[in-house]
Amino acid sequence: NAGVTQTPKFQVLKTGQSMTLQCAQDMNHEYMSWYRQDPGMGLRLIHYSVGAGITDQGEVPNGYNVSRSTTEDFPLRLLSAAPSQTSVYFCASRPRGGSNQPQHFGDGTRLSIL
Amino acid sequence: GQSLEQPSEVTAVEGAIVQINCTYQTSGFYGLSWYQQHDGGAPTFLSYNALDGLEETGRFSSFLSRSDSYGYLLLQELQMKDSASYFCAVSSMIYNQGGKLIFGQGTELSVKP
């Protein structure tokens, strides 16, 4: 019963490097989202997707790209890492069919940009 | 856009009742959800309200007033393990934004013995 799986769990990057945070879910959920969490800032939505091939921007999309080629996977790409992107990143998924459907979160990726 | 406000910290004693308030501003409001997060781990779903009134799930209840754009989470018979961060979140009924869930900044609850 894997749920939402994020890899890696920890990562340190240098400024200017690029990388992809992986997210996979095995619950056949249509909706997937990426959030970042900084101290005192709560969970801020970066990008979200309502199905394969459909993505949209959230509250803080700059510096990040996403794609959704399959229902299961929703990778988040940092194009050129900046220290301001140091954060904890959470991927989440939930089924279509009413907002009473709980959103399931992965365990997070702790990312530090030096 | 959407915005939510909730207190940053609340302290209560074991066995007591505590209420965490949430006010929101959003277009196309669909429902208000509550999530719990322990020690920076994965948030977990607690409760959801789409209609006015109270929803009860064990020791936790959640209330919504759509006309006041206000809701709260009520925790009864507090236990030490309830010490955590609590987030309210709003969802939208706007087409293709159904998957968009916006969170408040969170309320850190400390339960004292």
pLDDT in tens, B16-25: 999 999 999 8
Give mean pLDDT, residues A73-89: 97
Residues from chain A that touch B40, judged by Cβ atoms under 8 A, are 37, 88, 108
Q: Are B41 and A107 in contact (CB under 8 A)?
A: yes
Average pLDDT value for residue range A5-31: 96
Pairing outcome for strands A109-113 and A10-13? parallel
CB nearest to B96's CB, from A43, A50, A58 = A50
Instruction: Specify the range with the lowest mean pLDDT, choosing from A39-53, A96-110, B13-27, B31-45.
Output: A96-110
pLDDT for A95 equals 87
Flag whether pLDDT at A1 surpasses 80.
no
User: Which residue, among A13, A14, A19, A12, has the nearest Cα to A79 in the 3D structure?
Assistant: A19
Structure tokens at B65: 């007033």
- Min CA distance, A23 vs chain B (Å)? 14
In the predicted model, what is the mean pLDDT of residues B24-51? 90
* Contact status, residue A85 vs residue A111, Cβ threshold 8 Å: yes
* Record: contact B40-A108, CB cut-off 8 A: yes
Where is pLDDT greater, at A2 or B110? B110
- pLDDT band at A99; cut points 50, 70, 90: low
Q: What is the pLDDT of residues B57-98, one digit of tens each?
A: 899 999 999 999 999 999 999 999 999 999 999 987 665 556
Alpha helices in A1-114 (DSSP H): none
A43-60 in b/e form (b: 16+ CB < 10 A) is bbbbbbbbebeebeebbb
> Cα separation of A54 and B8, whole Å?
35
- Cα separations (Å) of A10 from A44, A68, A85, A100, A108? 19, 23, 14, 32, 9
Strand partners, B47: B34
Q: Is the pLDDT of residue A83 over 80?
A: yes
User: Which residue from A minimizes the CA distance to B108?
Assistant: A40
Given pLDDT bands bounded at 50, 70 and 90, which one contains residue A69? Answer: very high
Contacts of B105 in chain A (CB under 8 A): 40-42
Q: Is B44 on the interface with A (CB under 8 A)?
A: yes
Residue B58 CB contacts under 8 Å (≥ 6 apart), including other chains: none
CB neighbour list of residue A97: distance below 8 Å, 6 or more residues apart: none
Residue A64 in this model has a pLDDT that exceeds 80: yes
Q: What pLDDT sits at residue A40?
A: 76
Mean pLDDT of B28-42: 90
- Which chain B residues are within 8 Å of A37, Cβ to Cβ? 40
Q: What percentage of chain B has pLDDT greater than the value 90?
A: 76
A69: CB partners within 8 A, 6+ apart:
A52, A53
